[in-house]
Amino acid sequence: MIREKAIFEVECDRCQSPLGYADDGCAWHFDTHQAALEELTECGWVQAANRLLCSDCVAKEACALLGHTWGDWEPVERFAYSGLRRGCELCGAGELDPPPPPLVFVDLSNPPSDTRDWRWFDDEQEA
Ligand SMILES: [Zn+2]
Ligand SMILES: [Zn+2]
């Protein structure tokens, strides 16, 4: 038997991420409006008036209002960068000290003729 049935999904009003996507990669379905409301509350979502924010957007809003909750600085060595990194325990934002140099994109169809100032990964590792 094929039967038509109503289902309920929950979607963040800011980022449009569906409830369930972070865990299972797809939207969770609920049989009732009440069941959806109970689950979103348990997952850290917030309902204000008739708008919903997912837990990620709640964390980003809290950090925007109150500032980040930084963890400890830890050394990081990745590619040609060496320095310190700390992450926000609430929203996951990261910060580097010193700030990384700006990315430089090279047009490979028209490479610069003077490459004396190019710094290669292997050269910096040995320095
Ligand atoms: Zn969101
Ligand atoms: Zn934060």
DSSP-assigned letter for residue 20 = T
How many residues comprise the chain? 127
Task: Give me ligand 1 centre to Cα 62, in Å.
Answer: 13
- Per-residue pLDDT at 121: 47
Q: Which residue shows structure tokens 């509350």?
A: 41
Ligand nearest to the CA of 55: 1
Ligand nearest to the CA of 61: 2
Domain range summary for the chain, segments of one domain joined by +: 1-67, 74-126
Among 56-60, 69-73, 92-96, 120-124, whose mean pLDDT is lowest? 120-124
Q: What is the mean pLDDT of residues 104-123?
A: 61
Task: Give me ligand 2 centre to Cα 87, in Å.
Answer: 8
Type of residue found at 22? A
Ligand nearest to the CA of 95: 2
Residues in contact with 61: Cβ distance below 8 Å, sequence separation at least 6, in sequence order: 53
Burial level of 41, CB count in 10 A (0-12/13-18/19+)? Answer: exposed
Ligand nearest to the CA of 69: 2
